[in-house]
Amino acid sequence: MSTPHNNANKGDFAKTVLMPGDPLRAKFIAESFIENAKLVSEVRGMFAYTGNYKGVPVSVMASGMGMPSMGIYSYELFAFYDVENIIRIGTAGAISESLHLRDIVFGLASCTASSYADQYGLPCRPAAAASYTLLKNADSAAEKLGKTVHVGTLLCTDVFYEENSSLAEWRKMNVLATEMESAALYYNAARFGKNALCICTISDCPITGEECSAQERQNTFNDMVRIALDTAVLMK
């Protein structure tokens, strides 16, 4: 089968899919971590690969940037390709003063002003939350790897270049970091009764002005990738 955005065949995707935003990061992960990685889709340059990690089938596919793009690709994986678990692996900007460059954050929940959830016709915006099973297994994977992680709420925004920053107000609500995809992923997972988790590495700190280069964002942050892959193994 195929969709307007995916030319993979039914069965080409593993039960668990890692989703970085950048197609080149997906390619890097497939070539660096996954054994016998096979390209299964490349529509619109959104590379998708399937192979094995520690003997367990796993896939990696780019999601693109923002909730509309994540919404399309995660929807199709859940609805048409029998994917059970999606782990977003990407970058985030620190809101909490306790976070520093390359710290890892697990998104327990995601707050958003996006209208994405309006499609469900509910009287209020539903909570966008991670799967407990994925979160528990990711925490176990991080502990076994000896990696410290931060667990808490993310701010998922439609706007990268915001005219009037509200980060200080979100900091008062103990929101850890901001990114652009988690809420759509969590809503889709809830809608289909599937599992989702957002794992982010801090790539910039607006408070201090620190930031990673574009190349560092594409080719580093390997601790986050290893945690996600080991989580996929635990979900077999």
The catalytic site residues sit at 204
Residue with tokens 């990690």: 53
Q: What's the sign of the alpha-carbon dihedral 208, 111, 228, 147?
A: positive
* Backbone angles phi and psi of 119, in degrees to 5: -60, -20
C-alpha span between 182 and 194 (Å, rounded): 14
